[in-house]
Amino acid sequence: MHSTKQRLIDAGLRMLLQQGYNSLGIQALLDATDTPKGSFYHHFGDKEDFALQVVDAYMTEVHAGLDACLLDQTLPPLARIRRFFEMTQEKYRQEGYLGCLMGGLGQELSGVSEVFRRKIDWCLSSIAERMEKCLSEAQQIGDLPAVCDVQEMADLLVNCWEGAALRSRLRRDPASLSAMLDFYINSITTRPQSTSAA
């Protein structure tokens, strides 16, 4: 049985994905989870604190997925990266192509909230850092040119994925995600790569 706090976070994540931060009503969240107002304020200082904790929970899940895929030594590095993004793409499909929480909140709030701007920038940078390590492995075994700047390539990968995630949300279709991933992997490699998961 989920705790009250976890039920609120789970419901808040769905609602933030569906309608964004500004349209998220605390009373609607309480109604959806059958939670008294006092219980909400026992766990969260205010709406901003709640949303930031939802982001933390979301990123814990993202980091777990990154570790499960990128640390899997049974696959070559670029296949691990592909596996993570294909797993993420499947999650988007299951959620109805609502996109990435970071991308959505970043677009909505980065211009008006320094707290959220810094938080979301850190979240995306933390993903890129993990990608950089995997790309560095690919470089060491000769799958990437030695002259490549893997930090720059990791940042580009996250940037491209976020853009493709937005297009997939607009179109309610995964084609943008698949096309972006195929183009990126095939553009950076020194060896031909499969366009399907291992």
CATH code at position 175: 1.10.357.10
Amino acid 173 reads D
SS3 20: coil
Q: Is residue 101 part of a domain?
A: yes
Residue 33 included in any domain: no
What pLDDT is attached to residue 194? 52
- Residue 32, CA distances (Å) to 12, 18, 116 in order: 9, 14, 25
Indicate the number of domains in the chain. Answer: 1
DSSP 8-state assignment for residue 149? -
Percent of the chain having pLDDT more than 70?
Answer: 94
Say how far apart CA 160 and CA 184 lie, in whole Å: 8
| Average pLDDT estimate for 70-78 | 97
Q: Would 131 be classed as within a structural domain?
A: yes
**Are residues 36 and 42 in contact, defined by beta-carbon separation less than 8 angstroms?**
no
CA-nearest of 43, 87, 49, 48 to 65 is 87
- What is the extent of the structural domain holding 105? 47-188
Q: Which amino acid does the sequence have at 92? A: Y
Within-domain flag for 13: no
Compute the average pLDDT of residues 111-139: 97
Distance CA 160, CA 149 (A): 16
157-177: per-residue pLDDT in tens? 999 999 999 999 999 999 999
